[in-house]
Amino acid sequence: MKIKKCDTFNIKQTLDCGQVFRYTEKDGVFDLYAINHHAKITENDDEYVFECDDDAFFQKYLDFDTNYDIIIAKSQDKALISSAIAFGRGIHILRQDPIETIFSFLISQNNHIPRIKSIIGRICDALGDDMGEYHAFPTVQQLATKDAEWYASIGAGYRAEYLARNAKFFAENDIIGEWSKLPTEELRAKLMSLYGVGRKVADCVLLFGFARYDVFPVDTWILKVFEQDYPAVPAEKLSKLLVEKYGEMSGFIQQWLFYFKREEKKL
């Protein structure tokens, strides 16, 4: 499939903004993996070209059915947010698989993004279906074949127990479909009842895995963004304050600000 370029979609910004971990970039060519799908993404002067196994899947996954001009218009606020939008205007919030998102963000806690990628990669390679060129993200049944000791052995650190226990839980409870019907507050409570899932991981899963935009994940970077305006406010309280302020635009604004702050550090 081909996607005409526009200023509200940029593949590099969308993948580099920290919401997804299974992709590589080489010489401007992106390889993106989601569940058991793969897309090779190249670009020419006026379009992105997707060589993939399922156009409809990636059309939805990359959120091309949402009008980001409207999202951006509703989000323009003070100077900081306008600057962040100007910087990351091409970000789309991906519509990721809930299970893949839960396990990915369990690994993300107190961890660096490069290392998160490598741990997820080892889990896919060891447990996921062989798709030829790559390995799929494992099913919960596949994840549940391993115990905490194994997850520690592939470098998961202290999160190994979280992964093992949740793999067992979801293998025994096919409950994602039921959860997806719940309103955001109730769904967050379900997620936070999982061992190893706190407010931050739950909010990332709500945003990236359940397409809930009335959430504002607060991590160390977002704390830095707001340390002047909200000095010494703990992460969970700050998250609640920001959702009160930004409502249904919270998830988008959070992502623009995260990308803005993190790229600033890189430069």
Partner DNA sequence: CCCCAGGCGACTC
Partner DNA sequence: GAGTCGCATGGG
Q: What residues line the site for DNA (CB under 7 A)?
A: 17-19, 105, 108-116, 118, 152, 155, 157-158, 192, 194-202, 204, 217-222, 234-235, 237, 254-255, 258, 262
168, 200, 224, 245: which one is catalytic?
A: 200
Single-letter amino acid code for the residue at 23: Y
SS in 3 state form for 107-146?
HHCCCCHHHHHHHHHHHHHHHCCECCCCECCCCHHHHCCC
Q: Nearest distance from residue 61's CB to DNA, in Å? A: 16
200 included as an active-site residue: yes
Residue 219 CB, shortest distance to DNA, in Å, is 4
State in angstroms the smallest separation of the CB of 138 from DNA: 20
In terms of CB distance, is 44 or 110 closer to DNA? 110
Structural contact between residues 258 and 90, judged by C-beta atoms closer than 8 angstroms: no
| Among 102, 63, 84, 116, CA closest to 190 | 102
Read off the tokens for 181: 């019907």
Residue with Cβ nearer DNA (52 or 100) = 100
131 vs 60, 70, 128, 135, CA distance in Å? 21, 38, 9, 5
Residue number, 17 or 127, with CB nearest to DNA: 17
Q: Which is nearer to DNA, 54 or 263 (CB)?
A: 263
Amino acid at 71: I
Q: How far is the CB of 251 from DNA (least distance, A)?
A: 9
Closest distance to DNA from the beta carbon of 2 (Å): 27
Sheet holding 47-52, edge to edge: 2-4, 47-52, 37-43, 29-34, 23-26
Cβ proximity to DNA, 42 vs 111, nearer residue: 111
Residue closer to DNA by CB (options 55, 185) is: 185
Distance CA 6, CA 122 (A): 35
CB 192 within 8 A of CB 198: yes
CB proximity list for 174: less than 8 A, separation 6 or greater = none
Find the shortest distance in angstroms from Cβ 157 to DNA. 3
Measured CA to CA, the distance from residue 165 to residue 260 in angstroms comes to: 35
Q: Number of helices and strands (H, E) in the chain? A: 15, 5
User: Which residue has 């897309």 as its token pair?
Assistant: 39
Question: Which positions are catalytic?
Answer: 200
